[in-house]
Chain A
Amino acid sequence: MKGFKIIVLAKQVPDTRNVSKDAMKEDGTMNRAALPAIFNPEDLNALEQALRIKDKYPQSTITILTMGLPKAADIVREGLFRGADNGVLLTDRKLGGSDTLATSYAISQAIKTIGNFDIILCGRQAIDGDTAQVGPQAAEKLNIPQVTYAEQIIDINEKNITIRRRLEHGVETICSSFPLLITVHGSAAPCRSRNAKLTMKYKYAKTPDEIVQTGVDAELYKNKPYLNIKVWSADDINADEQRLGLSGSPTKVKKIEMVVLQTKESKKLSSNDSDIKMLMGELSEKHVI
């Protein structure tokens, strides 16, 4: 059986899970310098699903596609260390300020440029925006089926793929043909760690700019072509400039407010059985549990 051609969409995001008081600037915008840049968590879940397909069908290839600042080359490297075969960094000033519509357009153009693919996997949403829109919008632009909120790929064969979705009040199992786009939920299996051999193999993988900046031996990149990370600009993906960046983004941020959460009403409960029973009753009545 042949392998699958898989593209994993991954985003470099500020780590909003451990927010300190320096996380926001006085004007209410995000202080990116205070937050470490990480691989978007659910994109890692998506990468794991791709790697599992490759475990089963070793002929499969996995391409990491990331759009962002030049330093997002880290995301491609991280993917290579864990088992991806190659990666593309889409970076261009023209892409700055993109909302989900412009982003999904740029991403779909990049996917078309990569060309032949069977499966696109991405996280359900990124922790810096929580929109969950880019994956579905990209699928629409590519005119392929989409399966969102995937938790597990139950079966995959040459003809179709069976996926369990994690929904608010239960699960749903559906089957799709190829090609398709899958957005993966955080409840899916966590991504495996880096692989020692691949980390050693790809640790010098760099973009052309990085090769120049770090002044490393250029010969190395001629002799080992797999160490070159592809970088594409807006020109490389055959994009209509009007649809990129700010000009392609109908979403406008009108105002940002600091919201301080305050406890409005509180109840003190003891640890005795009757209090706990009362609390459980109340929570269940309000459908919290």
Chain B
Amino acid sequence: MANFYNDNSDLQFHLTHPLMNRIIELRERGFADKNKFDYAPSNLDDAIDSYQKVMELCGEICADVIAPNAEANDIEGHSIENDHLKYNSHTLENYEALRKASVWGITLPRKYNGLNFSNVPYIMVGEMISRADGGFANFWGLQDCAETINEFASEELKQEFLPLAAQGKSLAMVLTEPDAGSDLQSVQLKARYDADKNQWFLNGVKRFITNGDADIQLVLARSEEGTGDGRGLSLFIYEKDKHCQIVRRVENKLGIHGSPTCELVYKDAPARLLGDRKMGLIKYVMSLMYCARLGVGGQSVGIAEAAYREAIKYANEREQFKSPIIKFPAVYQLLGNMNAKLKGMRSLLYETARFVDMSKLLQEIQNNKERTLTSDERADLKYYKKMADAFTPLLKLFSSEWCNQIAYDALQIHGGSGYMKDFPIERITRDARITTIYEGTSQLQVVAAIKGVTTGIFSQRMAELDSMMANNENLQQQRNLLLQMTNDYENAIKTVESFKCQEYIDFQARNLVEMAGNIIVSYLLFTDSIRNDKFLNNANIFLNLAIAENAMKFKYINNGNPNDLDWYK
């Protein structure tokens, strides 16, 4: 039987990263659930074993159910019937397979019927599902909504909604409107409080909502009349079975047809306030978006994995000039570069997921006043929060861009056949395209990630990773090259900042962020190779690419100045 976990030893590699022990111990709070739930682990080894076993069973569902459904899911898409979504049978079958396996609610506490796993395995299942079907993967990713309820809602709402999420009730984050895309501060959908009925009501239109007709919908709405910015927005929970919302349209998209994108109309729809008024955008949705960006990171890696596997398969099978095309330098160079990027983005993905895990877990213990954090833990919280905030947009930017590059190259390797609808690569390429766009475009990720450049967070991480390489005799040559790259990067920041012009920093931001990312991914691959030398070739290939790319950016920055901006206007 095929299995997307067992056939990819890199997943096992990342699941057993040394920091996972600490993450699991924090997550399990001293294994306090062991006598309350028959499926709770009693110690660390037990928990690690459970993580593996659940990854294995998810890997099997991905390979045996979701992947075989992907093509038909893409062709059929979803439709509207009686003002509501009509899901195709393949999506329902996928959903049901995961429901019967009890894996919805993977990160929710056991008291709400969840599995109480950390973020890393949640993201890992997302990666595997995305490899199977990049479109269906969004249903998995929407569990971020349940996380948001868990993090910010009252106990009453948690007890009501989280067990439903763990049962597999579907979720949606309902944010975007026709005039509020990247700029969510402009959201207009109106929330009105009826004091007599002690009830909030929603009225308005939402657009481009993934799985908009979900059972449980988190709706961003303007609760403060007369306001025009983000501080007037609150987050609400609307339940589909109130029957006051309809689907007016299902978008006809380039890709991810398995993920229905809806236009919704709410008419006097009763809703429950989640958390505090006015905190909807500035706190809850910001947190939700960060989760979603990490999820798109996982989705990008999964789609790239699928693309790479299609390319390798085709390159081995296809013969030209009496030889499989993989034998030709032009082809194996492409494949080697794709693989190096794929391993690099996966390493960045799980590095970020671990940062998010550590920061969230410590934050949660502090917020719930479960115990006083030790001074070391308080320092860790500060450190991991800083890293998670900087790495999340870096990951989203790199993984989604490389996902597209890898899909593009994988299609190229298929030659003319790749352009036909006969091979999965055309679907994978279309599915890949959204990743640089939704949950914040690449351009917006740069806006968020540039802080990691200017405040020295990325430099700090580079120094830490460098110290991991310092004692390894075999990697000193590469380490010196990386130190040179880091030096150039620091000089490039100084050059850009020397003009003291914010617009110019914004103009060069992408180059700086990409220089940082190239260095960090190189370091990650080399530190991975210390744990397992199978990554050494990938690391060397990537380093060569990164050196060349950063040299180009370095030159571009050195030759530029703010006056150049006039040429563009």
Contacts and interface: CB of A to CB of B under 8 A. Distances in A.
A63 B143 CA distance: 35
A189 to B, nearest CB: 11
B53 A193 contact: no
A200 B28 CA distance: 15
A196 interface: yes
Interface in A111-138: none
Contacts of B103: 196
B57 interface: yes
B336 interface: no
B50 interface: yes
Contacts of A194: 57, 60, 101
A198 B97 CA distance: 15
B53 A200 contact: yes
B115 A193 contact: no
B41 interface: yes
A141 interface: no
Contacts of B100: 192-193, 195
Interface in A192-207: 192-201, 203
Contact of A196 (B41, B49, B64, B102): B102
A200 B101 contact: no
Given A193-B60, A197-B115, A203 B101 contact: no
B53 A199 contact: yes
A224 interface: yes
Given A200-B50, A203-B50, A193 B38 contact: no
Question: Size band of the A side of the interface?
Answer: 10 to 19
A195 B64 contact: no
Contacts of A193: 57, 60-61, 64-65, 97, 100-101
A199 B61 contact: no
B39 interface: yes
A195 B61 contact: no
Interface in A179-214: 192-201, 203
B54 interface: yes
A81 B106 CA distance: 17
Contacts of A81: 57
Interface in B46-90: 49-50, 53-54, 57, 60-61, 64-65
B38 A196 contact: no
Contacts of B106: 196
Nearest to B39: A200
A194 B59 CA distance: 11
A196 B57 contact: yes
Nearest to B60: A193
A197 B97 CA distance: 14
Contacts of B39: 196-198, 200-201
A203 B115 contact: no
A282 B50 CA distance: 56
A224 B38 contact: yes
Contacts of A199: 50, 53-54, 57
A200 B54 contact: yes
Nearest to A194: B57
A195 B64 CA distance: 15
A194 B54 CA distance: 9
A135 to B, nearest CB: 24
A122 B106 CA distance: 33
B128 to A, nearest CB: 13
Interface string A50-80: 0000000000000000000000000000000
Nearest to A217: B42
Q: Which of A81, A192, A193, A203 has the most CB atoms of chain B within a 10 A radius of its CB?
A: A193
B115 A196 contact: yes
Q: Which of A81, A192, A193, A196 has the most CB atoms of chain B within a 10 A radius of its CB?
A: A196
A196 B54 contact: yes
A224 B42 CA distance: 13
Contacts of A201: 38-39
A193 B101 CA distance: 6
Contacts of B38: 201, 224, 226
A224 B41 CA distance: 13
Nearest to B96: A192
Contacts of A200: 39-41, 50, 53-54, 115
Contacts of B53: 196, 199-200, 203
Interface in B105-137: 106, 115
Contacts of A197: 39, 102, 115
Given A196-B101, A197-B102, A203 B54 contact: no
B49 A203 contact: yes
A67 B199 CA distance: 62
Contacts of A203: 49-50, 53
Nearest to B51: A200
Nearest to A55: B100
Interface in B137-175: none
Nearest to A195: B102
A81 B50 CA distance: 13
A224 B40 CA distance: 13
Contacts of A196: 39, 53-54, 57, 101-103, 106, 115
Contacts of A226: 38
A179 B128 CA distance: 44
A81 to B, nearest CB: 8
A195 B97 CA distance: 10
A203 B50 CA distance: 9
Nearest to B54: A196
Contacts of A224: 38
A69 B169 CA distance: 43
A104 to B, nearest CB: 29
Interface string A169-180: 000000000000
A194 B64 CA distance: 13
Nearest to B61: A193
A192 B100 CA distance: 7
A199 B65 CA distance: 19
A192 B41 CA distance: 24
A201 B50 CA distance: 9
B36 to A, nearest CB: 13
Nearest to B35: A223
B50 A192 contact: no
Interface string B22-43: 0000000000000000111100
B475 to A, nearest CB: 39
Contacts of B65: 193
Interface in B289-318: none
A226 B38 CA distance: 10
Q: Which of B40, B50, B65 has the most CB atoms of chain A within a 10 A radius of its CB?
A: B50
Interface of A: 81, 192-201, 203, 224, 226
Interface of B: 38-41, 49-50, 53-54, 57, 60-61, 64-65, 97, 100-103, 106, 115
28 contacts: A192-B97, A192-B100, A193-B60, A193-B61, A193-B65, A193-B97, A193-B101, A194-B57, A194-B101, A195-B100, A196-B39, A196-B57, A196-B102, A196-B103, A196-B115, A197-B102, A199-B50, A199-B54, A199-B57, A200-B39, A200-B40, A200-B41, A200-B50, A201-B39, A203-B49, A203-B50, A203-B53, A224-B38
Given A197-B39, A197-B102, A200-B53, 12 more contacts: A81-B57, A192-B100, A193-B65, A194-B60, A195-B102, A196-B54, A196-B103, A196-B106, A196-B115, A200-B41, A224-B38, A226-B38
Pick the 3 closest A-B CB pairs, nearest first.
A200-B39, A194-B57, A197-B39
